[in-house]
Structure 1
Amino acid sequence: MADTKKVVIVTGATSGIGEAVVTAFGAAGASLVLVGRDPERGKRALRALENVGCVATLMLGDVADPSFADRVVASTVGRYGKVDVLVNSAGTIRRGTAVETSDEDWRQTFDANVSGVFYFSRAAVKAMRGTGGGSIVNIASNVGLVGCTNLAAYCASKGAVVLLTKAMALDHAKEQISINAVCPGAVDTPMLVSAHNEPVTADEILQRNIDSIPQGRVATPSEIASLTVFLASKEARHITGVAIPIDGGFTAG
């Protein structure tokens, strides 16, 4: 269970894992700043939180813009007085081998998946230093640990997130800032079946993923959110610099 009254920024907050993370922190009593790009999804997410009595605000922009990251953190501190937790959940996927990956696909993947994590984490650390510490949880991927076919840019970007997590955890451990990565495998979100070039159905893609997982199922977004909330809790304060697979045993083989 997360500590109540935390102030939490979540990027990629309006869909998939990010939306589940927002719901979990909201249920634990946190004040939330939702970061996203889609105004309609953002408004729906805000309404859902307001309906359960959660204090939340929405900021729209591009996570790969360093000035936007600075504005979000500054606004959060101005409104709530602090930042306790940052969850970097925003991300994108481009499928293909290195030969099939265009320059633009490579750039967009790293902008969203790596630069966004870096800019928001840098801004959050500066704020957390002034209030005695905090927690950063980066949503990486198990394919940033072991690799995967047909995902060259995505694997490289998530591997970068894992090592950025470890480097920053070492740099800021004495400042009581814990920094960890959650590494999901296949999760039942729209991203799982997106951006496939081959003519396959969503059901076929889902079954293909299920067949590759020792537990025989894909994760739910709420399972990823539960681990994320735990890593930001006081019970996990001695955990830092780790990248935890949550993939039904996929990386154990």
Structure 2
Amino acid sequence: MSGELDGMAAVVTGGGSGIGLATARLLAERGAFVACLDLEPSEARHPLLPLKCDVTDTRSVVGAVDTAAERLGGVDILVNNAGIGAQGTVADNSEDEWRQVLDVNVIGIARVTRAALPYLRRSRNAAIVNTCSIAATAGLPNRALYSASKGAVQSLTLAMAADHVADGVRVNCVNPGTVDTPWVRGLLDSAPNPDAELAALRARQPTGRLVTAEEVAAAIAYLASPAAASVTGTVLAVDGGMHGLRLRKS
């Protein structure tokens, strides 16, 4: 697959760690010039272009996207990956937490996409990939706020795909299961019994293991590539079969 993205310019939000960094590295391996937008982008090392960006701040977003387009020669690919998590039932999270999570996970996608659209419309291979979650379609315990935000991301993806297909801009999303990222490891560290929590997270996916960031990155890279030129408005699950399989217990 090396070289399939030669000369293309990609912007990845949340590109400083986890899925975003794995995606940025893979896009670069396949020939793209890649800017990583993040509150802390220091892990995005050469050949990646690290740019500080707060997706909740319009001025920060516009400045980072414009800088990326100037340095990379435009924007062909946008990966809206920046996001934050939340735990609790609908009764547990404060209104401030609701505003913060929705501001980052949903409105952040709108801000970055709005800033990138003028550049994407000039591209002959324009693609947007949003990082969603299995939480958009599966009722997970103690994830009310997070699930609401990701349900919105999935619906937003489909609406964006309809709005921009005539512009030649494809829009898709990936729905990962539980991914082995620094954020998930932080949740495990804070659990009363980290080993039991890890075993439970593994067990709820039919494959019996966590998804890797590199596996999600591979799905994003496919949706972003010209190989997926006829794919838009699609939700691609990378979840070890969690969304569709109902295995019998032996």
C-alpha contact (below 8 Å) 2:34/2:72 kept by paired residues: no
Q: Is 1:10 aligned with 2:2?
A: no
Residue in structure 2 matching 1:64, options 56, 62, 65: 56
Q: Deviations over 1:186-235 (max 9, x none)?
A: 11112224357974233322211111111111111000000100101111
When residues 131 and 199 of structure 1 are mapped into structure 2, their CA distance, relative to the original with a 3 A threshold, is closer
Q: Which moved more, 1:71-80 or 1:6-15?
A: 71-80
Q: Deviations over 1:164-184 (max 9, x none)?
A: 100010011121111100000
SS of the residue corresponding to residue 148 of structure 1 reads coil
Runs of 4+ in 1 over 4 A off after TM superposition: 195-199
Matches within 5 A, 1:92-241: 92-195=84-187, 199-241=191-233
Letter in 1 for 2:128: I
Partner Cα separation in structure 1 for residue 89 and residue 189 of structure 2: 12
Q: Deviations over 1:138-173 (max 9, x none)?
A: 000011122311111100000101011000100111
Partner Cα separation in structure 2 for residue 145 and residue 19 of structure 1: 25
Q: Which moved more, 1:153-162 or 1:139-148?
A: 139-148
Higher helix proportion (structure 1 or 2): 1
Partner Cα separation in structure 2 for residue 45 and residue 73 of structure 1: 16
Q: Which residue of 1 aligns with 2:237?
A: 245
Aligned residue pairs, count? 243
Partner Cα separation in structure 1 for residue 123 and residue 60 of structure 2: 22
Q: Is 1:43 aligned with 2:35?
A: no
When residues 74 and 45 of structure 1 are mapped into structure 2, their CA distance, relative to the original with a 3 A threshold, is closer
Question: How much does 1:99 deviate?
Answer: 0.4
Question: How much does 1:45 deviate?
Answer: 2.2
- Point out where structure 2 has 5 or more consecutive residues left out of the alignment: none
Partner Cα separation in structure 2 for residue 16 and residue 98 of structure 1: 27
Letter in 1 for 2:16: T
Letter in 2 for 1:120: V
Letter in 2 for 1:181: C
Question: How much does 1:19 deviate?
Answer: 1.0
The TM-score normalised by the length of structure 1 is 0.91
Question: How much does 1:133 deviate?
Answer: 4.9
Q: Which moved more, 1:167-176 or 1:77-86?
A: 77-86
Letter in 1 for 2:136: G
Residue in structure 2 matching 1:19, options 18, 21, 42: 21
What is the RMSD computed on CA atoms of the aligned residues?
Answer: 1.7
The TM-score normalised by the length of structure 2 is 0.92
Q: Which moved more, 1:241-250 or 1:125-134?
A: 125-134
